């Protein structure tokens, strides 16, 4: 029997087979979890997410449109979960967005106010908002995770405003953990993943240079694969990590420990 047998939760961010959320869902399903999925609004988006969920072996997937920039979408999602299932065990936030025009080398300082605000709204505020909206349906001892990147802590050329958003995400994770742990023993943790080629990461200028750097400098001389993020996420979403909250778990070939 898998370590997630009898557990059910929400997985956001399944857009493509390369999506990190797809790998997380795969790990969860392998260990017996039931996964509910959200997608950006629209028939085309629904079809894409449905196809991936089915390819992972989920027949008749539970699908809900949700643009996290829209409060009503967030409310509708958790209201429906309450109606359909009463409670869930976990929430996976696998969402980020910034206008790619401003994810180019040398294009941080001039980032327009609206681009900055939108990146923080979709990539950081939404983590807190999903966590808050999930409280009524999350079981006591429930687990929430999100995805960060080392560009939250250090300046990474091209990552720009997304690095600022990830810094806000990491701080939000600590504050969310502080409050939700006291409410219902809910745990909140992030996985800081090394670079993986996905639709979002391809928008980061200089991403190929980041991918080339890891095998040269990291303790494990290779880039990570999304299944490794999936399995680390599984740990944080399972009872195996029941004493851990407010943390960032690095799945980055060890790159973040290096001083040079």
Question: Which of 132, 241, 130 lies closest to 180 in space, CA to CA?
Answer: 132
Q: How many CB atoms lie within 10 A of CB 63?
A: 18
Length of the chain: 260
Which is nearer to ligand NAD, 62 or 97 (by Cβ)?
97
Q: How far is the CB of 212 from ligand NAD (least distance, A)?
A: 13
Active-site pick, 149, 150, 250, 255: 149
Q: Please confirm, yes or no, whether 149 is among the known catalytic residues.
A: yes
Identified catalytic residue from 97, 127, 150, 159: 159
- Both tokens of 246, joined, read 């407010």
Backbone angles phi, psi at 254, to 5 degrees: 85, 5
Count Cα atoms within 13 angstroms, Cβ side, for 48.
Answer: 17
| DSSP label of 26 | H
Residue 95 or residue 248: which is nearer to ligand NAD going by CB? 95
* Residue with Cβ nearer ligand NAD (21 or 186): 21
| Smallest separation, CB 185 to ligand NAD (Å) | 25
Question: For residues 137 and 224, which CB has a smaller minimum distance to ligand NAD in the complex?
Answer: 224
Minimum CB separation of residue 223 from ligand NAD in Å reads 9
The first and second tokens of residue 251, run together, are 């799945």
Tokens of 186: 């809910």
Q: How far is the CB of 166 from ligand NAD (least distance, A)?
A: 7
Q: Where do the DSSP E strands lie in 77-228?
A: 88-92, 138-148, 187-193
Q: Which residues bind ligand NAD (CB under 6 A)?
A: 13, 15-16, 19-21, 40, 66-69, 94-97, 122, 147-149, 193, 195-196, 198-201
By annotation, the residues acting in catalysis are 149, 159
């Amino acid at each position: 029997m898998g370590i997630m047998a009898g557990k059910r939760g929400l997985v956001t961010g399944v857009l493509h087979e390369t999506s990190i959320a797809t790998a997380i869902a795969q790990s969860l399903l392998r260990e017996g979890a039931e996964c509910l999925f959200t997608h950006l609004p629209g028939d085309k988006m629904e079809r894409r997410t449905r196809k991936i969920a089915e390819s992972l072996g989920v027949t008749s997937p539970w699908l809900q449109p949700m643009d996290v920039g829209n409060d009503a979408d967030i409310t509708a999602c958790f209201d429906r979960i309450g109606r359909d299932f009463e409670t869930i065990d976990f929430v996976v936030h696998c969402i980020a967005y910034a206008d790619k025009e401003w994810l180019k080398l040398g294009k941080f300082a001039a980032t327009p106010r609206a681009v900055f605000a939108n990146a923080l709204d979709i990539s950081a505020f939404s983590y807190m908002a999903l966590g808050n909206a999930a409280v009524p349906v999350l079981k006591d001892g429930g687990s929430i995770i999100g995805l960060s990147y080392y560009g939250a802590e250090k300046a990474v050329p091209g990552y720009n405003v997304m690095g600022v958003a990830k810094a806000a995400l990491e701080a939000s994770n600590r504050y969310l953990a502080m409050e939700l742990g006291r409410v219902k023993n809910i745990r909140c943790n992030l996985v800081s993943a090394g670079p993986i080629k996905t639709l979002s990461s391809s928008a980061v200028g200089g991403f190929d240079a980041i991918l080339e750097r890891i095998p040269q400098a990291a303790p494990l001389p290779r880039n990570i694969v999304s299944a490794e993020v999936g399995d680390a996420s599984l740990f944080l979403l399972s009872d195996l990590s029941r004493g851990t909250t407010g943390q960032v778990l690095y799945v980055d070939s060890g790159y973040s420990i290096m001083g040079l």
